[in-house]
Structure 1
Amino acid sequence: MSSAFEHTLAAIDALHAQDPRPTTLADGTSHPQELIYAQRMSRWLERLQETPSELLRIAVRAQHLQRWQLPRSDYPEGRIGYLTWRRDQSAQAGDTTAALMEEAGYSQEEAKRVASMIRKQGLGRDSDVQALEDCACLVFLENYFADFSRKVEHDHMVRIVQKTWGKMSPQAHALALTLPMNDACATLVKEALDSH
């Protein structure tokens, strides 16, 4: 690993650690929500690729960088509000990460490349962007799907699973089908895939 990579990752994690929202893990310990999310993203990348590039590893680690600073509640309800929030959040995370990278010694081109990955520009055509999307989908399915599905109306949840599935690579599909799920979640996934 280059020293620029190590400096950038440390700077990203220092910002993640400022997240005021705690998350409690299975062992009862409490940690900043965003830091745990970032670590989960990195773990999935290790399972998806044997030797991911430094730039992809940075993009995956920084995908939600300082997301708490742009609350979803500041945007209108509905799909347009959601998509606007997602666009603004990814632009902020990309710009902040690019600045951290340049400070650590990466070139402007490398920093721009990571920012475009975080914005998911080229999804469906760019293998690095696909890997980042796969990690996000797998983290969601493994860690947040069960809670989320209890708060969202059934038919809407089926559509969410279908959309999530549609964004994933065949490799990520195979990994997703090995995840342990409660009966309600497993039924939701089966229904979504059967009618997809």
Structure 2
Amino acid sequence: MTRTQQVEQAFSHFDVYNYRDPNIEVWNGKSFPKELLYSIRMSDRLSKFAPDSPDHIRLAVRCQHIGRWEIPRNTYPMDRKGYLQWRNALKFHHAKIAGEILTTCGFDAETIEKVKFLLLKKELNRNAETQLVEDVICLVFVEHYLDDFASKHDDDKVVDILKKTLIKMSLRAKEEVSNLPLKPKVSQLISMAVA
């Protein structure tokens, strides 16, 4: 098996796992398990933003939310502290599942550790590869999820979250936002956050 085939096999395993997500999202008139659609969007954005990324980044991006539904948000306190605890638990959950799948696919220990490193968001703002994965996460959020999120929350809360999102992004990723196909309301909220 070539390395390309091995990566494609891992993608397939990730997708099969995420296909079990009971949460459904409709996109372009077709229903998808939510985290399967998210993983496809992540890979698509990486291919546009950093098409020459090495395999471990492509793998980490594809399994960024693998098994996310298995730890529901309401299993932690519904406050800021509980949210952060939930997010931290998810990172380790994703890394564990990804590690098991990559081992099954025959990846070497170094590649598996690199993927887990990225899923755990280690050295964010200091490691270029972790930053790249974070940029893709933020761009996918703005392009595909911000409009729906904004419709459920008041503008001040959305602008505050956007400010926090922009802080996590590289300059290049911030510039890329202007190339995304955004609705006028979303563009307005981003402008407010930048101001």
TM-score normalized with structure 2 length: 0.94
What is the CA-CA distance between 1:29 and the residue it aligns to?
1.1
Distance in 1 between the 2:179 and 2:140 partners?
13
Q: RMSD across aligned C-alpha pairs, in angstroms?
A: 1.2
SS for the counterpart of 2:32 is strand
Q: Distance in 2 between matches of 1:150 and 1:7?
A: 38
The equivalent of 1:88 in structure 2 is: 89
Identity %: 33
TM-fit CA distance, 1:108: 2.1
Which residue matches 1:136?
137
Structure 1 moving runs of 4+ over 4 Å: none
Structure 1 unaligned residues grouped into runs of 5+: none
Pairs within 5 Å for 1:1-196: 2=3, 3-26=5-28, 28-194=29-195
Q: 1:71 offset after TM fit, Å?
A: 0.8
Looking at structure 2, the residues matched to 31 and 180 of structure 1 have their Cα atoms a distance apart, in angstroms, of 21
2:80 maps to a residue whose letter is R
Q: State the alpha-carbon separation in 2 of the partners of residues 46 and 80 from structure 1.
A: 34
Unpaired runs of 5+ residues, structure 2, are none
Residue 10 of structure 1 aligns to a residue whose secondary structure is helix
Q: Say how many residue pairs are matched.
A: 193
Given residue 163 of structure 2, which amino acid in structure 1 is its aligned partner? Q
In structure 2, distance between residues paired with 1:114 and 1:135: 15
Matched position secondary structure for 2:102: helix
Q: Deviations over 1:131-155 (max 9, x none)?
A: 1111111111011101101212322
Say whether the 8 Å CA contact 1:124–1:130 is kept in structure 2. yes
Residues of 2 paired with 1:124 and 1:37: CA distance?
23
